Structure 1
Amino acid sequence: MQQAIVQGLEWYGAVAGAVAALIVSLDLGRRWTGIGFVIFVSSSLTLIGWGFLKPDAQGIGTQNIVLLIINLIGVYRYIIRKKDPA
């Protein structure tokens, strides 16, 4: 059971990261880019959990701690902060 959960975390994190990257790369506007960053946050949180639950994946867990911070900045910039007047 625990192995299935760990494997589910791995696959969710991978798929969510790919979907988020696609959304951000399409440059569909501020709202969609923000949604992409929210998905990136969920991917990072999942891969942090997976990385520290699996004995040989601490590198991915550590990398995603850094990516979580970067993604939270993206959420702030595209969802929380008002667009600067140009």
Structure 2
Amino acid sequence: MSDSLIQGLQWYGAGAGILAALIVSLDLGRYWTGIGFSIFVTSSLALIAWGFFGPDAKGIGTQNIVLLAINLIGVYRYLIRKEKTA
């Protein structure tokens, strides 16, 4: 994999993570929280690839495997599963 593609994965992962965190923190409702988690998923995928294809970043890659699972739960919870009613 080329160095520029590896760097692009790193920077995309960082930027997408920032955007997703902002969206989730604004608490704009279920739909937007789900969109935030969807963006987190893309961030995790990019950082997993960067972590394992780039030099000396295996820890970030491993961390993002776990975060990917957590983010997929968020996507399911906020975009797929119906909201529970009281």
Q: Which residue of 2 is the match for residue 58 of structure 1?
A: 58
TM-score, normalized by length of structure 2? 0.98
Secondary structure of the 1:23 match is: helix
Q: Which residue of 2 aligns with 1:67?
A: 67
Q: How does 1:1-86 map to 2 (within 5 A)?
A: 2-86=2-86
Instruction: Give deviations 1:36-75, integer Å, cap 9, x for gaps.
Output: 0000000000000000011200000000000000000000
Superposition RMSD in Å: 0.9
The structure 1 segments of at least 4 consecutive aligned residues displaced by more than 2 Å after TM superposition are none
Using the aligned pairs only, state the percent identity: 74
CA distance in 1, matches of 2:44, 2:72: 10
Return the alpha-carbon distance in structure 2 between the equivalents of residues 4 and 56 of structure 1: 16
- What is the TM-score normalised by the length of structure 1? 0.98
Q: Which runs of 5+ in 1 are unaligned?
A: none
Count of residues paired in the alignment: 86
Q: Which runs of 5+ in 2 are unaligned?
A: none
SS at match of 2:55: coil
